Every structure is written in structure tokens, then in C-alpha cells.
Amino acid sequence: MLWARELIARRAPVRVRHVVAPRDELTERAKAAYFGLAIGDALGATVEFLTPNEIRHQIGVHREIIGGGWLRLKAGQVTDDTTMSLALGEAILAHGSVDAKSAAEAFDAWMKAKPVDIGNTVRRNLVLFRKTGIPEATFSEHDAGNGAAMRVLPVALACYGQPEKDVVFSNQAQAHVTHNNTISDAACETLIFMVHDLFAGRDLAEIRQQRADALVSRFPVFAFNKKRIENPSGYVVETIQAVFQAFFSTETFEDCLLDVVNRGGDADTTGAIAGMLAGARYGLEAIPKRWLSAIDGKTLGQCSAQATGLLALAGCAT
Ligand SMILES: [Mg+2]
């Protein structure tokens, strides 16, 4: 008996630490990931479709959230990467899980509200959903754009702690509304598992090996250790290559985002995805205050509320 009491007494403080501290930290990291997504989107949108040379000549190093760009954004305004993620997050919260029909309806309502930007594959397959009511696009080897990968964060949050097969199923429910494509699926799943690993504080070398390198083993087209990707297109492979190169070669939130957006091309989406990963990796304290205060306050409020709400759905409320 004495032995058992001693064991319980020794275990008690350990249990307290596991129940309280990591969940507080988890919420902070979830918020940082969502803020990172919005910041990368707003920062990158200014230089979307510019080449690195054009950025150098016009701006030097692009490092401030100033709006403009081809979309003529206000400073701090975000684009479809963030607003589609928020639409999906709302649908997940309303339904209580990731559901294809709810996601399709939310994306359709988002499109009706005339977003500042919309991808071609997203538009085409949402128009089709409006006609057919079927929330799954037809499989297409051509629909390998980054439009599903840019909005995986709410799925990552709602599915934190779930078995991998359930996560894969949930992601496909949202992704296939617009992008029913094997390469897109692989990219989405890799990003979600990386976010989970970063939330769990796993070793970065392990994450690189077991997620990024594993993706390349399954689909060699994603190899990102060869030539430097500049001017990445909206093809999900180039997006992931640019993001991984920036993410694994830098050691701060700011450097990661500056590296990826100054490559130009689809810079709002590479910025959004890199920002999500960097937020999950480095946490709230690492996000430059000037970037956080530059983002539209309503957007930040929605990101924060969804981070908390979606984690609660996953059974990880603080
Ligand atoms: Mg965008």
C-alpha cells in the first residue's frame, strides 16, 4: 500500500503538467498557425505573379505588409487562402465534424459573396456543385493546383489526435469538393501531419524525414533538394517544394516567410502555407508584432476563435 501511495504521489505532478501546460501551449500554437496563414497570405499577395527579379527591382526585399499587388489590396487584407480556410472552419464547427456537403455549401456561399480572388479549379468545380449538388469533383489528374492544400488548417485543428486514416478521410471530404487529385491529396495530408507533429513538439529532423522525405519517396515529383524553386506556380508540387525549401532552411518565423514570398509567383499561397507551418513551429511569441498588428482585426479575431473552437472539437479545449 505504501508503495502504491508513493507511486501515486510521485505521479500526480506529472499528470498535472501533461493536462494543463501542453494544452495551453497547444492553443497558442494553433492560433500562431492560423495567424501565420493570414500573415503569409497578406504579405505574399503584394508580390503575387512577380518574378524574384521584379521584386528586387521594384521593392528590394519585400518585408512589409503593405497591400497592393495585382489585386490592389488594402494593407492587411487577406485573400482566398485565408477566407476559404475560415469558410471551411465555420462549416466544420457548425456540422461538428468535417463533412463534404457542409464544406461544399460553405465554399459556394463564399463564392457567392464575391471573394477578392478565386482559383480556376475552385470556381469550375463549385459551379458544377451548384448544378449537381454532388460535393465531390470528378477525379482529374489535371486538378493538381494548390487550392485544396492552402485551406487544410481547419482540418488539421479539428482532427488533432485522431488516427491517421480518419484524418485522411476528413481531408478528402474537404479537398475533393474542388480538387479530386492524388498529388493534391498527398500534399494536403503531409501538411496536416506536419502541423500535428509541430503542435506535438516533435523533433524537426524526424518531421522532415517522416513527412517531407516520405512524401518524396511516395511521389518523387515533390523532390525539393535539387534546384532552388523561384517563381513557383499554382501547381501544388512547386508550391510544396518552395515552402519546404524555405521552411527547412530557416530558423525564425520571419526568415521563413521572407524567404518564400521573395521567390514571387504564387506568393500569397506559398506564404500562407509556410506561415501556417512556421506558426505551428515557432509559436505566437515568434511572430513579428508589426505583421500581427498589420492584419485586419476582424480576420485575426476569426482565426483566433476558430483555433480555439476547432481544437475543442478535437477534444483539446483548454
Ligand atoms: Mg490567394
* Nearest partner of 242 among 275, 219, 207, 218, judged by Cα: 275
Rounded distance from Cα 79 to ligand 1 centre (Å): 5
Asked if the model's pLDDT at residue 3 lies above 70, the reply is no
Model confidence pLDDT, tens digit, residues 15-41: 333 334 477 899 999 999 999 999 999
For residue 97 the three cell numbers come to 465534424
> What is the C-alpha to C-alpha distance for residues 112 and 237, in angstroms, rounded to an integer?
29
Rounded distance from Cα 193 to ligand 1 centre (Å): 23
Overall average pLDDT of the 215-241 stretch? 97
> What is the C-alpha to C-alpha distance for residues 224 and 215, in angstroms, rounded to an integer?
10
Rounded distance from Cα 11 to ligand 1 centre (Å): 49
Asked if the model's pLDDT at residue 9 lies above 80, the reply is no
> What is the C-alpha to C-alpha distance for residues 199 and 212, in angstroms, rounded to an integer?
16
**In 21-51, which positions are buried (b, 16+ CB within 10 angstroms) versus exposed (e)?**
ebeeebbbbbbbbbbbbbbbbbbbbbbbbbe
Rounded distance from Cα 120 to ligand 1 centre (Å): 12
Rounded distance from Cα 215 to ligand 1 centre (Å): 24
Task: Give φ, ψ of 44 to 5 degrees.
Answer: -75, -30
Task: Give φ, ψ of 150 to 5 degrees.
Answer: -70, -10
Q: What is the pLDDT of residue 24?
A: 87
Rounded distance from Cα 85 to ligand 1 centre (Å): 11
In the chain, % of residues over pLDDT 70: 93
Domain 19-313 CATH class label: mainly alpha
How many other CB atoms sit within 10 Å of the CB of residue 3? 7
Asked if the model's pLDDT at residue 234 lies above 90, the reply is yes
Model confidence pLDDT, tens digit, residues 82-96: 999 999 999 999 999
The pLDDT mean for the chain works out to 93
Rounded distance from Cα 14 to ligand 1 centre (Å): 44
Query: For the residues of 41-80, what is the DSSP string, one character each?
Result: HHHHHTTTT--HHHHHHHTSS--S---BTTTTBPTT---H
Q: What is the pLDDT of residue 317?
A: 63
Rounded distance from Cα 272 to ligand 1 centre (Å): 8
Strand partners, 68: 73
What residues have CB less than 8 Å from 22, skipping those under 6 apart? none
> What is the C-alpha to C-alpha distance for residues 54 and 77, in angstroms, rounded to an integer?
22
Rounded distance from Cα 229 to ligand 1 centre (Å): 19
Rounded distance from Cα 261 to ligand 1 centre (Å): 12
C-alpha radius of gyration, the chain, whole number:
19
Asked if the model's pLDDT at residue 77 lies above 80, the reply is yes
Rounded distance from Cα 44 to ligand 1 centre (Å): 9
Rounded distance from Cα 157 to ligand 1 centre (Å): 21
Q: Which H or E run contains 190?
A: helix 182-199
Rounded distance from Cα 284 to ligand 1 centre (Å): 23
Rounded distance from Cα 116 to ligand 1 centre (Å): 9
Rounded distance from Cα 274 to ligand 1 centre (Å): 13
Per-domain boundaries in the chain = 19-313
Task: Give φ, ψ of 20 to 5 degrees.
Answer: -95, -65
Rounded distance from Cα 82 to ligand 1 centre (Å): 8
> What is the C-alpha to C-alpha distance for residues 269 and 75, in angstroms, rounded to an integer?
17
Asked if the model's pLDDT at residue 184 lies above 90, the reply is yes
Rounded distance from Cα 305 to ligand 1 centre (Å): 22
Rounded distance from Cα 110 to ligand 1 centre (Å): 14
In three-state form (DSSP H/G/I as H, E/B as E, the rest C), the secondary structure along 103-162 is HHHHHHHHHHCCCCCCCHHHHHHHHHHHHHCCCCCCCCCCCCECCCHHHCHHHHHHCCCC
Asked if the model's pLDDT at residue 142 lies above 80, the reply is yes
Q: What is the pLDDT of residue 316?
A: 86
**Cα 263 to chain centroid, rounded:** 19
Overall average pLDDT of the 107-130 stretch? 96
Task: Give φ, ψ of 154 to 5 degrees.
Answer: -60, -30
In eight-state DSSP terms, residue 266 is: S
What residues have CB less than 8 Å from 3, skipping those under 6 apart? none
